[in-house]
Amino acid sequence: MSGELPTDTHKPENPSEKPLELQTDTITVDLKRMATDLNYGKQLSRGKGFRIYNEAFTKILGDDPSITQVQSRAYQFAHEAGVYIKSTNRVYFTANFQTCDPIALYSVDASTLEVSDDDFSGVVQANGACNYKDKILYS
């Protein structure tokens, strides 16, 4: 189900005061080693950052990639989808991780980093999403 950008913006009770730049690492993965060394594979999953499985990905990341924590809440509210829609300049994501609510839909403005609590009445149980013709399609 695709939808237009809602106007309701929800301010959480305890958001982090401002965006937080997280320390990241960028590691080019040795695919042969990963296939033969279980400990190497486990080591790759630790830490915050980017894992490069194909050198072409470095063109997307650029020379100095970073990760910014836009907001923090007391519960896991941002863990599915993560879809950027160019026409709205927003990243849409879903949350339904072991809460009493069946689904929660959010988006973040890529310019202001403001998080919105979105309400699309036609979305009942979204688990993820994708970009379809520059609109958000929840699945």
**Structural domain boundaries of the chain?**
21-61, 71-138
For 1-22, b where at least 16 C-beta lie within 10 A, e where not — what string?
ebbebeeeeeeeeeeeeeeeee
Whether residue 93 contacts residue 139, with contact meaning beta carbons closer than 8 Å, is answered with no
Gap between the Cα atoms of 113 and 107, Å rounded: 9
Q: How far is residue 113's CA from residue 19's CA, in Å, rounded to a whole number? A: 8
Determine which of 65-69, 104-108, 124-128 has the lowest per-residue pLDDT on average: 124-128
29: which residues sit within 8 A by CB, 6+ positions away? Answer: 44, 51, 52, 53
Higher-confidence residue: 120 or 12? 120
Question: In the structure, what pLDDT confidence band is assigned to residue 8 with cuts at 50, 70 and 90?
Answer: very low
- Is this model's pTM higher than 0.75 or not? no
Query: Closest Cα partner for 13 from 93, 117, 118?
Result: 117
Q: For the segment 73-102, what is each residue's pLDDT rounded down to a tens digit?
A: 777 777 788 899 999 999 999 886 665 566
Which residue in this structure is represented by tokens 């979305």? 123
From CA 120, how far away is CA 137, in angstroms rounded? 11
Reported as a single tens digit per residue, the pLDDT across 17-55 is 566 777 788 899 999 999 999 999 888 888 778 999 999
